[in-house]
């Protein structure tokens, strides 16, 4: 059973601003992650086992995983140089 991907407003806004080839690459990767176990590909953020990060080239996708509803909530998409800064 596949997982569902939901984009937060900020993540969707960032995705729409990216160059089309990069945006397509990120969307394809999210589809691949959702078709299997999302914990097989990414890594958990330190100190939080529900929040995971996925590397897609120089870009990072930060997600919250909800096991009960099998939902991948994309919180943030950003370049590796500044995605972890708040």
Domain membership of residue 67 (yes or no) is: yes
Instruction: Convert the pLDDT of each residue in 6-27 to its tens digit.
Output: 999 999 999 999 999 999 999 9
Domain membership of residue 86 (yes or no) is: no
Cβ atoms of 46 and 32 closer than 8 Å = no
Instruction: Convert the pLDDT of each residue in 39-64 to its tens digit.
Output: 999 999 988 888 999 999 999 999 99
Domain membership of residue 31 (yes or no) is: yes
**Both structure tokens of 58:** 């120089």
Domain containing 35 equals 4-79
DSSP, residue by residue, 64-76: EEETTTTEEEEEE
Number of domains in the chain: 1
Q: Report how far Cα 29 is from the mean position of its chain's Cα atoms.
A: 9
Domain membership of residue 74 (yes or no) is: yes
Domain membership of residue 85 (yes or no) is: no
Domain membership of residue 84 (yes or no) is: no
CATH at residue 27: 3.30.2310.20
């Amino acid at each position: 059973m596949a997982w569902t991907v939901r984009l937060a407003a900020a993540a969707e806004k960032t995705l729409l601003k990216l160059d089309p080839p990069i945006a397509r690459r990120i969307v394809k990767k999210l589809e691949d992650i959702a078709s299997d176990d999302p914990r097989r590909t990414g890594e958990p953020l330190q100190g939080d086992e529900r929040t995971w990060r996925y590397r897609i080239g120089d870009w990072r996708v930060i997600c919250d995983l909800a096991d009960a509803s099998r939902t991948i909530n994309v919180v943030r998409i950003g370049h590796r140089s500044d995605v972890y800064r708040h």
